[in-house]
Structure 1
């Protein structure tokens, strides 16, 4: 007998696909269109989205919370030995580790981008707060290191999805579209009522406001 479980709430699913679109937009704005204004706007939107995910990891649906992504070393080892035996909804141990890693490096890329100065007319809003030495370090990381780390993590993420879909016959893409996942046993479902979705909208609005206010404050500061 199998059970259809609501795993991913709507705010989590919208976050996921908005992240995909904004990261793609950030890449194309530089490589194809050579438009730093678009690139910066994608970065600001990503900053709000990143903050949203941090907060949603605390107040979001059951399987979106960070508390459900914390595992012991024994659980990691057991999963590596017997990956096909993992049947819980949500992220498996390696998937959870990839979420934290991705959030870490996305955050680093956002901050380093805001602190960068490319000497070609674009200066990030945080660059004025920092000395030239730190701005140079941020620019180097953002342009030469961080982007390759993120591209590697994205490629690894896509390969992992393909592996689970093809080898283990575990559907990962469809649940991120409709929120539901078939499970061999009963499990807690994520809340996804309208009240919960309105909370997600409120959290998103607060994060966007934080970024907007932060940008306004940063642009009025000059390093002395």
Structure 2
């Protein structure tokens, strides 16, 4: 026997929530995709806000009164999880806790994203700093992603161990293979469903037109500006990979050339100084050498002259003795 569990609006909002969070999370890192991030983030926040209201005024199985989130319910669910007799028409205890947490955490993440996008620092008398808003938004998005994986893991486990219940199929058809009271919607629920789906679409459209807040990319932009100022002094220069390579090569060549030229000039200066010093030293040594040689030669010639004169005088004396 099949029992109607989820209304059409609940199923549509479920899949819009899944698509919205996936796209918002993927597009949150690139500046050129930030408008999509704003739009899908607003869509998620709007859907979750009305889902909380639906949990208060909604029909059976969607109402929070049907969420078994107590500690005793959690313990009993874990102990008897593999029992074939344990069935839940709506959410099981762990799924109820995960879904309830996703609703409020998703709204918190969307709200901090709105404050960050609009650069709003004040809300209901509270003042928020830029760091508080940005960190809160990032932490909320990461925690929400963890809850999404927990939700998927629960569906996977339920499909394996409680296949007959048809939990996975109920997300598409709205029916589970259990015997219980069906979920019934009245006129008020139907009117609320139109608002539930319409308002998030309006928020989606309005958020897409928000101006892109570049504060999250200030550090990256500053680094890019520093590189561009170094590589492109002329703002009209063409920016291409080849120009980057050429400019980097030229800068490297200029640096190396300057270093080589400086080293060459220093070497030439040192060589000139050393050459002049060697020349002066060599000249002094040569002058001393020539002076010493000149003195020796003069002494030698004087000695020769003296010896020659003495020899002539001696010969003359001998000649006089022979005449006698």
TM-score by length of 1: 0.78
Question: Residue 109 of structure 1 contacts residue 142 of structure 1 at CA under 8 Å; is this kept in 2?
Answer: yes
Secondary structure of the corresponding residue to residue 42 of structure 1? helix
Give the aligned length.
Answer: 202
Is it true that 1:150 corresponds to 2:150 in the alignment? no
Alignment partner, residue 113 of structure 1: 113
Question: Residue 98 of structure 2 contacts residue 150 of structure 2 at CA under 8 Å; is this kept in 1?
Answer: no
Alpha-carbon shift at residue 78 of structure 1 (Å): 1.1
Is it true that 1:57 corresponds to 2:51 in the alignment? no
Alpha-carbon shift at residue 112 of structure 1 (Å): 1.5
Q: Deviations over 1:155-193 (max 9, x none)?
A: 12111111110123242221011101111xx31211257
Cα distance change, pair 134–72 in 1 and its aligned pair in 2 (3 A): same
Q: Deviations over 1:3-43 (max 9, x none)?
A: 21000011110110000010111023235784111111112
Alignment partner, residue 189 of structure 1: 182
Cα distance change, pair 157–203 in 1 and its aligned pair in 2 (3 A): closer
Query: Which of residues 166, 172, 175 is equivalent to 1:177?
Result: 172
Unaligned runs of 5+ in 1: 117-123, 220-224
Alignment partner, residue 5 of structure 1: 3
Distance 1:182 1:107 in 2: 33
Cα distance change, pair 179–105 in 1 and its aligned pair in 2 (3 A): same
Cα distance change, pair 195–137 in 1 and its aligned pair in 2 (3 A): closer
Query: Which of residues 122, 130, 141 is equivalent to 1:129?
Result: 122
Instruction: Indicate the structure with greater helix content.
Output: 2
Question: Residue 68 of structure 2 contacts residue 96 of structure 2 at CA under 8 Å; is this kept in 1?
Answer: yes
Question: Residue 43 of structure 2 contacts residue 200 of structure 2 at CA under 8 Å; is this kept in 1?
Answer: no
Question: Residue 29 of structure 1 contacts residue 35 of structure 1 at CA under 8 Å; is this kept in 2?
Answer: yes
Question: Residue 105 of structure 1 contacts residue 150 of structure 1 at CA under 8 Å; is this kept in 2?
Answer: yes
Q: RMSD between aligned alpha carbons?
A: 2.9
Distance 2:53 2:62 in 1: 10
Secondary structure of the corresponding residue to residue 105 of structure 1? helix
Question: Residue 69 of structure 2 contacts residue 94 of structure 2 at CA under 8 Å; is this kept in 1?
Answer: no
Alignment partner, residue 88 of structure 1: 88
Cα distance change, pair 208–179 in 1 and its aligned pair in 2 (3 A): same
Alignment partner, residue 222 of structure 1: none
Cα distance change, pair 153–34 in 1 and its aligned pair in 2 (3 A): farther
Distance 1:13 1:74 in 2: 29
Distance 2:89 2:195 in 1: 26
Distance 1:31 1:206 in 2: 26
4-13 or 84-93, larger mean C-alpha shift: 84-93
Distance 1:81 1:172 in 2: 20
Unaligned runs of 5+ in 2: 212-324
Alignment partner, residue 156 of structure 2: 162
Secondary structure of the corresponding residue to residue 35 of structure 1? helix
Distance 1:112 1:44 in 2: 11
* Larger Rg belongs to: 2
Alignment partner, residue 77 of structure 1: 75
